Amino acid sequence: MTKRTEQLGSVLHRAVQSVLERGLSDPRIRGIVTVTSVRVSPDLKAATFGVVVAPEEHEALTLHGLRSAAGHIRRRAAGLVALARLPEFRFTIDEAYKREVGTLDAIRRAVESLDDAGRAPGRPSAELTEPSESREAAP
C-alpha cells in the first residue's frame, strides 16, 4: 500500500466506524459491528472494510445488511471527511481477525490448564527452566 492509500484507509476507517456506532435503521444490522481493517484499491476507487460482528450468530444477516446499506453508509461517511470523492464501499467478514482471536483463546486455555495442573501462576515449571540455571544449582 502506498502512503496515500494508507492515509485514506485510516480516514475511512474512523468515519465508517463512527457511522456504525451512531446506528443504522436497517433491522438486519444487529449486534456490535467493529471495523477491523480497510483495504483501499491502488486506483482509490474501492475500499473494502473487514468487519467483525458480535455475537457471531448475527454475522451473515448483518453482513447482508451492510452490503445493502453500503451507499447509505458512504453518503453518511462523506459528511464526516473532507474528501471530494469517496471510493465505493464493500464489506466483508474479517476472517484473519477471527482466526487471531481463536488462537489467543487457545493460548489462554492452555495457560489456564497449566495453572490448574498445580503450577503456580507466573512461575515456570521445572521443565521450562534454562539449562544454565539447572547446572548452577547442581553441586
* Cα 53 to Cα 29: distance, rounded to the nearest angstrom: 9
pLDDT digits (tens, 9 = 90+) for 20-59: 999 898 999 999 999 999 999 999 999 999 999 999 899 9
Same domain as 117, residue 52: no
Band of residue 9 on the pLDDT scale cut at 50, 70, 90: very high
109 and 45 together in one domain: no
Using DSSP's 3-state secondary structure scheme, residue 43 falls into: coil
**Residue 39 and residue 79 in one domain:** yes
* Parallel/antiparallel/unpaired status of strands 88-93 and 46-54: parallel
Residue 131 has pLDDT above 70, yes or no: no
Structural domain range at position 20: 3-93
pTM over 0.85, yes/no: no
Domain CATH code at residue 38: 3.30.300.20
